[in-house]
């Protein structure tokens, strides 16, 4: 059996997952990255996307938005502002998040505009990936 590390996924309201895993694919702000045991210590912010966790019971996917991941050699914690298993993600929730991002993008100006537009694009990508 391959090496494993501790993985925690927490949202402000609850702890979604806490288990030993082989690898975690994280949607980082600057691109996806995969954390495995003995990864160099890293803190990265998240973009809206899909978090894939490869654990003893196969691969689990979570939709996450906002927050950050803290990776150290022995453990990975993802603190996401919103997080839920992809299966629980509904079109209505997606619509609400998209609408919020769109409103922010329309209202933003200057440097903030790029960031807001990117956020909106990320949501669209998340929606496509999650298939809702």
Partner 1 sequence: MPSLKDLKNRIASVKSTRKITKAMQMVAAAKLRRAQDAAEQARPYAERFNAVMAGLAQSVGGSDSAPRLLSGTGSDKVQLLVVMTSERGLCGGFNSNIVKLARTRAEKLLGEGKTVKILTVGKKGRDQLKRDYAKLFVGHIDLGEVKRVGYVDAQGIAKDVLSRFDAGEFDVATIFYSKFHNVVSQEPTARQIVPAAFEMTGEAGASSLYDYEPDEEAILADLLPRGVATQVFTALLENGASEQGARMSAMDNATRNAGDMIDRLTIVYNRSRQAAITKELIEIISGAEAL
Chain contacts with partner 1 (rule: CB under 8 A): 8, 10-15, 28-30, 40-45, 66-68, 70, 72, 77, 79, 81
Q: Which is nearer to partner 1, 43 or 59 (CB)?
A: 43
Q: Which is nearer to partner 1, 12 or 85 (CB)?
A: 12
Residue 1 C-beta: closest distance to partner 1, Å: 27
Residue 30 C-beta: closest distance to partner 1, Å: 6
User: Which of 30, 61, 33, 47 lies closest to 120 in space, CA to CA?
Assistant: 47
The answer to whether the beta carbons of residues 122 and 47 sit under 8 Å apart is yes
**Cα Rg, the chain, nearest whole Å:** 15
Q: Which is nearer to partner 1, 29 or 59 (CB)?
A: 29
The answer to whether the beta carbons of residues 9 and 17 sit under 8 Å apart is yes
């Amino acid at each position: 059996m391959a090496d494993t590390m501790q993985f925690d996924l927490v949202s402000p309201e609850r702890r979604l997952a806490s288990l030993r895993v082989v690898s975690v694919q994280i949607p980082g702000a600057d691109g996806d990255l995969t954390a495995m045991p003995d990864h160099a210590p890293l803190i990265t912010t998240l973009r809206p996307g899909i978090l894939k966790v490869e654990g003893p019971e196969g691969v689990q996917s979570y939709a996450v938005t906002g927050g950050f991941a803290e990776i150290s050699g022995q453990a990975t914690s993802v603190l996401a502002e919103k997080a839920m298993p992809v299966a629980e993600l509904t079109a209505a929730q997606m619509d609400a998040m998209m609408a919020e991002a769109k409103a922010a993008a329309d209202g933003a100006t200057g440097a903030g505009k790029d960031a807001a537009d990117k956020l909106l694009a990320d949501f669209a990508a998340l929606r496509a990936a999650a298939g809702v």
